[in-house]
Amino acid sequence: MTHPVLKPGNVAVVTGAASGIGLASARAFARSGMRVVLADNSEDRLEEAREIVSAEASGSGHVLAVTTDVASLASVEGLHDTVHARFGKVHLLMNNAGIQPGSSLFGPQANWDAVLGVNLIGVINGTRAFGPAMLAHGEPGLIINTGSKQGITTPPGDPAYNVSKAGVKAFTEALEHDLRNQEGGRIKAHLLIPGFVFTALTANGRTEKPAGAWTPEQTVAFMLESLDRGDFYILCPDNEVTRALDEKRIAWAAGDIIENRPPLSRWHKDHGAAFADWLKR
């Protein structure tokens, strides 16, 4: 890791840090010598994660675990105050917490409230709670928000999740535009767009990683390489989907507007064959 923010003594805060991509990221930041704050809403899993990350940290007391509900601004502001009191300046914020209980357009309101609250409002809360102080301290910093390909191509099946991740994309693009126009600001934003990653969120009862999935560790390694390159859109492949295939799917989704096709035409009975033929070109 060569990114200047990932260095000994700097502070990283990771939400959704008790498992999956969040835990793998926290471990990588700890190995770089950073002081790491783990935030999650599961106190038991958070303590297990703290022990795992502490084993890879460069010093005792370099890892802090804080039970946090990212959907609550008060809880996230409390996290900020706790981090500031313990470690001072924050240099890296990874808004990664996410849930996927499943949704339908006219299904339970609770599912919509939960998904939007964690996946989208949680990102907004984290950024607004930590961002001003990160800008004010004047040192280089990163805000990494975890999005999804489902927020770009919006496949049918889980509309609340798609809406939440589409919102994260729009919010992070606006954030980076704002940050790069801050006089003297040295904070950069990045949108992490994982592929198929085998985590508790995607396992669906499976205990073994499917052949097509990446591990969280592979995803984080790709993220770190992308940060070194300065990529804003960190579009991750996996063992099934190449970047070239992702690009064609994204281009087709944008083409629905340009070509005045029906929305989600990939899955439309009158356009699915055309999409399949286009992929072969």
Where are the domains positioned within the chain?
A: 11-240, 242-281
Q: Is the per-residue pLDDT at 279 higher than 70?
A: yes
Q: What is the pTM of this model?
A: 0.96
28-32, 57-61, 72-76, 118-122: the lowest-pLDDT one = 57-61
Per-residue pLDDT reduced to its tens digit, 9-20: 999 999 999 999
Q: What is the C-alpha separation between 91 and 88, in angstroms, rounded?
A: 10
**pLDDT score of 201:** 67
- 161 is annotated as an active-site residue: yes
Report the distance separating Cα 125 and Cα 127, nearest Å: 6
CATH of region 11-240, choose from 3.30.9.10, 3.30.750.24, 3.40.50.720, 3.30.450.20: 3.40.50.720
**Which residues are bridge partners to 37 per DSSP?**
13, 64
- The per-residue b/e assignment along 155-164, b for 16 or more CB within 10 angstroms, e otherwise, is beebbbbbbb
The yes-or-no verdict on residue 160 having pLDDT over 70 is yes
- Rounded CA-CA distance 35/61 in Å is 8
* pLDDT higher than threshold 80 for residue 219: yes
Rounded distance between C-alpha atoms, residue 16 and residue 98, angstroms: 7
pLDDT one-digit tens code per residue, 24-39: 999 999 999 999 999 9
The pLDDT value recorded for residue 204 is 66
Task: Report the distance separating Cα 22 and Cα 117, nearest Å.
Answer: 18
Q: Give the closest residue to 212 by CA, choosing from 197, 231, 192.
A: 197
256 φ/ψ angles, rounded to the nearest 5 degrees: -55, -35
Residue in 87, 112, 161, 222 annotated catalytic: 161
pLDDT at 205 over 70: no
Predicted pLDDT of residue 101: 86
At 234-252, the pLDDT tens digits run 999 999 999 999 999 999 9
C-beta atoms surrounding 46 within 10 Å: 20
Residue with tokens 């889980």: 158
